[in-house]
Amino acid sequence: MSEEELADLYARCLAVYYAPVDEDFGMVPYEAFLSGKPVVTTTDAGGPLEVVTDRVTGLVTEPRAEALASAFASLNAEDAAAWGRAGRELAERVSWDATIDRLLA
């Protein structure tokens, strides 16, 4: 899919579901956050749990169909917007300059 198509999908969604298996670190949460969208993930997702915090930057739920369905059913536009803004603030702090500063500190 093109970058334009991906940006359009992010723009039109309420939240982004991302629950990889054995993922050390993925860019999907950052892409979602930079689009102002929260991320829904599971407690066994690995790396995404470093940035997806339950009811802060998205929703974190058990990796069961019922739990995921409940999480999505509980989403509303107001919370999603607030969590998306919090994620965006977090993602905007991720840069090469910030990384270099931390490494040299």
Does residue 99 carry a pLDDT above 90? no
CATH architecture of structural domain 3-95: 3-Layer(aba) Sandwich (3.40)
pLDDT digits (tens, 9 = 90+) for 12-47: 999 999 988 766 667 899 999 999 999 999 999 888
Whole-angstrom Cα distance, residue 48 to residue 32?
12
Give the whole-angstrom CA distance, residue 101 versus residue 97.
6
Cβ pair 58, 15 in contact under 8 A: yes
For residue range 47-93, what is the model confidence (pLDDT) as tens digits? 899 999 999 999 999 999 999 999 999 999 999 999 999 999 999 99
Structural domain boundaries in the chain: 3-95
Q: What is the pLDDT of residue 26?
A: 77
Residue 95 confidence class, pLDDT cut points 50, 70, 90: confident
